[in-house]
């Protein structure tokens, strides 16, 4: 299947104008015509490197005043209307088994939050779940990782201690840990602790890193330790963020995460806009790398993620709203995603593409955004109606476009 596009962004260094892009899909309708997509730009779909799928409730939890470290926010967050309303649907019994009870409903919300912002991969920071948690999802919920919640709070949600978890990764998977989420001595003490534990490693993906100084960021670059930047969540909770300019200067492999909507932006598209609003001269090409190739490297994903190639099984077409392909990403919302394909399966897009594939209408939900007809895989409308039934009233989520 071939699409004639306005430009194709193979990766940050290779952009080709007026070209065809190839897609390999078992669902193609057999016609060998080239589909005219000259109003679209082709990209590798995005990757969200940090989320908490069980916590994508809305609005943000808390008063928005900066705390010196994240534990102070967690204490207050437990009493917010947002947290208490989420708990009407899913109450944590302490097991953190997110395949039980109503947890899968909220997990699906989080998956659709990511899908509707062009993500085909999300890293859900939680203790490792049962295999079925990672199966049959429209996007990839990363299964191959080890983790520790944070060095100061430990693995209170399940899993081994940080060193054992890192060893279990065997340098073949990322070891993921919240670190330095604050500005006080507690937050600053985390990085020396990480070094002491022998965890300053090339498969360690540290989330936040607000408390790290230049010298410590340089050490991350030298050791290959990677950092996940969550700007909106950082400013909401702590009033500051990672020293991203130094990260670029030293060459740290930086990726971007949304965190959950209880502290972060509504999705990855809004996270990028927020980052650009806070740091206007930050190059969009760098941001593009952080949500594609840098992310694929950080999460140890196959080559078919994070870049486009001659033939692809993953593909995204975005409306062309800006002459520069990287700036264009800033000028797109959910409705501007013309087509999103994951592993050869169209998962979201304009209804016009529907007949280009052999799709079963029963497997998709059809709706419109501002009059533009869309299809999406699965039935998110059933997820929201089940949630409404439990709550006894209608709940809106700003990341759902229907
Ligand atoms: Zn987090």
User: Distance from the CA of 277 to the center of ligand 1, in angstroms?
Assistant: 22
Q: Domain containing 53 — which CATH number?
A: 3.20.20.140
User: Distance from the CA of 295 to the center of ligand 1, in angstroms?
Assistant: 16
In terms of domains, do 354 and 215 share one? no
User: Distance from the CA of 309 to the center of ligand 1, in angstroms?
Assistant: 32
What is the spatial distance between Cα 1 and Cα 23, in angstroms, rounded to a whole number?
Answer: 5
CA distance readout (Å), 27 to 33, 90, 344, 360, 378:
15, 36, 7, 10, 16
In terms of domains, do 74 and 199 share one? yes
In terms of domains, do 192 and 136 share one? yes
Domain stops at, among 251, 278, 298:
298
Three-state SS letters, 247-266? HHHHCCCEEECCCCCCCCCC
DSSP string, 311-348: EESSEEEEE--SSSHHHHHHT--GGGEEEEEETTEEEE
User: Distance from the CA of 373 to the center of ligand 1, in angstroms?
Assistant: 34
User: Distance from the CA of 352 to the center of ligand 1, in angstroms?
Assistant: 38
- Position 255 in a domain: yes
Using one digit for the tens of pLDDT, what is the confidence trace for 40-50?
A: 999 999 999 99
- Which pLDDT score is estimated for 171? 97
User: Distance from the CA of 185 to the center of ligand 1, in angstroms?
Assistant: 20
User: Distance from the CA of 233 to the center of ligand 1, in angstroms?
Assistant: 9
User: Distance from the CA of 200 to the center of ligand 1, in angstroms?
Assistant: 19
Domain stops at, among 298, 318, 345:
298
- Which pLDDT score is estimated for 362? 96
What is the spatial distance between Cα 284 and Cα 292, in angstroms, rounded to a whole number?
Answer: 12
- Which pLDDT score is estimated for 150? 97
pLDDT, one tens digit for every residue, the chain (402 residues): 999 999 999 999 999 999 999 999 999 888 788 999 999 999 999 999 999 999 999 999 988 889 999 999 999 999 999 999 999 999 888 899 999 999 999 999 999 999 999 999 999 999 999 999 999 999 999 999 999 999 999 999 999 999 999 999 999 999 999 999 999 999 999 999 999 999 999 999 999 999 999 999 999 999 999 999 999 999 999 999 999 999 999 999 999 999 999 999 999 999 999 999 999 999 999 999 999 999 999 999 999 999 999 999 999 999 999 999 999 999 999 999 999 999 999 999 999 999 899 999 999 999 999 999 999 999 999 999 999 999 999 999 999 999
Residue with tokens 């410590």: 216
Residues whose CB is under 5 A from ligand 1 (ion)?
259
What is the spatial distance between Cα 251 and Cα 247, in angstroms, rounded to a whole number?
Answer: 6
Nearest to 45 by CA among 351, 332, 283: 332
In terms of domains, do 76 and 108 share one? yes
User: Distance from the CA of 38 to the center of ligand 1, in angstroms?
Assistant: 39
- Which pLDDT score is estimated for 63? 85
- Which pLDDT score is estimated for 185? 97
Q: Which residues neighbour 124 within 8 Å (Cβ) at sequence distance 6 or greater? A: 51, 52, 53, 107, 110, 141, 142
What is the spatial distance between Cα 147 and Cα 301, in angstroms, rounded to a whole number?
Answer: 17
Q: Domain containing 322 — which CATH number?
A: 2.30.40
User: Distance from the CA of 67 to the center of ligand 1, in angstroms?
Assistant: 15
User: Distance from the CA of 323 to the center of ligand 1, in angstroms?
Assistant: 35
User: Distance from the CA of 361 to the center of ligand 1, in angstroms?
Assistant: 36
Burial of 298 per CB tally in 10 Å (0-12, 13-18, 19+): buried
What is the spatial distance between Cα 394 and Cα 191, in angstroms, rounded to a whole number?
Answer: 44
In terms of domains, do 154 and 39 share one? no
- Position 401 in a domain: no
In terms of domains, do 39 and 187 share one? no
Whole-number percent of the chain with pLDDT over 90 = 95
User: Distance from the CA of 199 to the center of ligand 1, in angstroms?
Assistant: 19
pTM equals: 0.98
In terms of domains, do 349 and 223 share one? no
In terms of domains, do 224 and 325 share one? no
In terms of domains, do 136 and 169 share one? yes
In terms of domains, do 231 and 338 share one? no
Q: Is-contact 57 46, C-beta < 8 A? A: no
Joined tokens for residue 224: 């290959």
- Which pLDDT score is estimated for 388? 98
Beta strand 345-350 with 337-342 is antiparallel
User: Distance from the CA of 178 to the center of ligand 1, in angstroms?
Assistant: 6
- Position 402 in a domain: no
- Position 339 in a domain: yes
User: Distance from the CA of 30 to the center of ligand 1, in angstroms?
Assistant: 44
- Position 359 in a domain: yes
Report the number of secondary-structure helices (H) and strands (E) in the chain: 14, 17
Domain count, the chain: 2
Domain stops at, among 269, 298, 327:
298
Joined tokens for residue 121: 């991969």
- Position 239 in a domain: yes
Distance of CA 362 to the CA centre of its chain: 27
Q: What is the DSSP letter of 129?
A: P
Q: Which residues neighbour 77 within 8 Å (Cβ) at sequence distance 6 or greater? A: 61, 62, 83, 262
User: Distance from the CA of 50 to the center of ligand 1, in angstroms?
Assistant: 6
- Which pLDDT score is estimated for 355? 86
Burial of 332 per CB tally in 10 Å (0-12, 13-18, 19+): buried
User: Distance from the CA of 223 to the center of ligand 1, in angstroms?
Assistant: 23
- Position 396 in a domain: no
Nearest to 190 by CA among 148, 156, 222, 232: 148
User: Distance from the CA of 87 to the center of ligand 1, in angstroms?
Assistant: 18
User: Distance from the CA of 321 to the center of ligand 1, in angstroms?
Assistant: 32
- Which pLDDT score is estimated for 92? 87
Note down the domain range covering 353.
Answer: 2-44+307-391
Nearest to 342 by CA among 130, 111, 132: 111
In terms of domains, do 218 and 125 share one? yes
In terms of domains, do 40 and 61 share one? no
User: Distance from the CA of 242 to the center of ligand 1, in angstroms?
Assistant: 14
- Position 193 in a domain: yes
């Amino acid at each position: 299947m071939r699409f004639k596009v306005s430009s194709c962004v193979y990766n940050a260094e290779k952009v080709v104008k007026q070209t065809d892009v190839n897609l390999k899909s078992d669902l193609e309708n057999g016609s060998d015509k080239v589909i005219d997509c000259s109003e679209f730009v082709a990209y590798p779909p995005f990757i969200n490197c940090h989320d908490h799928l069980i916590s994508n409730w809305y609005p943000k939890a808390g008063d928005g005043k900066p705390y010196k470290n994240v534990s102070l926010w967690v204490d207050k967050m437990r009493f917010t209307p947002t947290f208490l309303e989420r708990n009407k649907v899913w109450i944590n019994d302490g097991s953190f088994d997110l395949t039980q009870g109503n947890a899968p409903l909220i997990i699906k919300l989080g998956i659709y939050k990511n899908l509707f912002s062009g993500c085909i991969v999300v890293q859900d920071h939680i203790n490792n779940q049962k295999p079925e948690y990672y199966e049959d999802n429209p996007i990839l919920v990363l299964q191959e990782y080890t983790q520790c919640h944070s060095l100061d709070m430990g693995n209170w949600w399940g899993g081994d201690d940080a060193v054992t978890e890192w060893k279990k990764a065997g340098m073949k998977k990322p070891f993921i840990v919240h670190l330095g989420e604050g500005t006080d001595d507690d937050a600053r003490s985390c990085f020396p602790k990480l070094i002491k534990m022998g965890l300053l490693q090339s498969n360690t993906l540290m989330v936040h890193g607000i408390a790290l100084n230049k010298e410590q960021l340089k050490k991350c670059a030298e050791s290959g330790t990677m950092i996940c930047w969550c700007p909106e969540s950082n400013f909401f909770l702590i009033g500051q963020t990672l020293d991203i300019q130094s990260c670029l200067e030293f060459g740290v492999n930086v990726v971007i995460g949304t965190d959950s909507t209880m502290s972060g932006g509504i999705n990855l598209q809004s996270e990028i806009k927020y980052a650009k609003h806070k740091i206007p001269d930050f190059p969009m090409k760098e941001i593009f790398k952080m949500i594609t190739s840098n992310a694929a490297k950080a999460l140890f994903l196959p080559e078919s993620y994070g870049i486009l190639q001659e033939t692809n099984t993953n593909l995204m077409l975005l409306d062309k709203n800006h002459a520069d392909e990287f700036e264009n990403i800033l000028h797109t919302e959910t409705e501007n995603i013309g087509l999103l394909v994951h592993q050869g399966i169209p998962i979201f897009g304009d209804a016009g593409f529907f007949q280009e594939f052999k799709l079963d209408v029963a497997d998709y939900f059809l709706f419109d955004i501002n009059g533009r007809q869309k299809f999406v895989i699965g039935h998110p409308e059933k997820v929201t109606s089940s949630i409404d039934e439990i709550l006894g009233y209608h709940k809106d989520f700003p990341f759902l476009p229907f």
